[in-house]
Amino acid sequence: MATIDSRLLTETEDELYLEIGNQLALEETGFLPSNVKAIEERGRRYVAIHLAKLKSTVCANKMVQTAAKNGTYAELVAAVAAAIESFLSGTCVAPVAALLCKMGIHKFCEREWSQA
């Protein structure tokens, strides 16, 4: 299961997009670009590209559903991270999981969970 830095649990959505962009840049180039807006936008594009796969994977996961109903926020983020770590870039897993939870996992999975 992915390790969740407690700092991610309190960051805003914009900060999480920036974190995702930073992690992508570090993986590809080994350094952080200085243009914060461009980094944040890169994080937003990355999430948008993977949104359909994120939705189908996260919303179908029983651990995520259980954590959403009965778990703490940290347990929910960890469950989402575990669900998505098989197809997302390694260092982006935790911030993407935190972002989905920050955005509202119940709203994100509303249609899928109402049909279950």
Spatial distance between the Cα atoms of 11 and 27, rounded to a whole number of angstroms: 21
Residue 79 in any domain: the answer is yes
pLDDT > 70 fraction of the chain, expressed in percent and rounded: 97
For residue 1, pLDDT over 70 is answered with: no
Domain span holding position 75: 6-114
Residue 41 in any domain: the answer is yes
What local confidence, expressed as pLDDT, does residue 53 receive?
Answer: 96
Residue 84 in any domain: the answer is yes
Residue 1 in any domain: the answer is no
What local confidence, expressed as pLDDT, does residue 6 receive?
Answer: 87
Spatial distance between the Cα atoms of 38 and 111, rounded to a whole number of angstroms: 33
Q: How many domains would you assign to the chain?
A: 1
Spatial distance between the Cα atoms of 13 and 66, rounded to a whole number of angstroms: 24
Tens of pLDDT, residue by residue over 52-103, are 999 999 999 999 999 999 999 999 999 999 999 998 878 899 999 999 999 9
